[in-house]
Amino acid sequence: MGNAKLYKGSLNTIILKLLDEQGKMYGYEITQKVKALTKGELKITEGALYPALHKLEAEGLLDVELAKVDNRLRKYYKLTEAGEKETVNRLAELEEFIRSMQNLVNPNWSIN
């Protein structure tokens, strides 16, 4: 709690970015990766993650590949070609947004 409600709107872009650099990932793995990368500050809930993955897939940005590991199901997601193109756009947009926020909130921070 506390950090809750703070990353609204950027979850999709985070997913795309991670898939772009990791190649393929499954849902649970994404939640753990984000937790690790942000030292526990950002926690992606399953209720937000799975619908987001399904939507990105429906939009044709992700492909799914089923796998069974230790008798447990995994759904590996990876970017489609369209997904890779979209990732570039959305990442640029998110970076611009972060710079703007940074500049608004603390103009003293370096902007590089």
Partner DNA sequence: AATATATACATAATTTTCTTATGCATAAGA
Partner DNA sequence: TCTTATGCATAAGAAAATTATGTATATATT
Q: Which residues are near a copy of itself by CB under 8 A? A: 2-3, 5-10, 13-14, 17, 34, 37-38, 41-42, 91, 93-98, 100-106, 109-110, 112
Is 19 near DNA (CB under 7 A)?
no
Please say which residue, 76 or 80, places its beta carbon nearer to DNA. 76
Q: How far is CA 81 from CA 10, 55, 93, 101, in A?
A: 21, 16, 19, 30
Contact 12, 52 (CB under 8 A): yes
Minimum distance of DNA from residue 23's CB (angstroms): 15
In angstroms, rounded to a whole number, what is the distance separating the alpha carbons of residues 32 and 27?
9
* Amino acid at the residue 24: K
- The contact pattern for DNA, residues 39-78, with x = CB under 7 A and - = no contact, is ----xxxxxx-xxxxx--------------xxxxxxx---
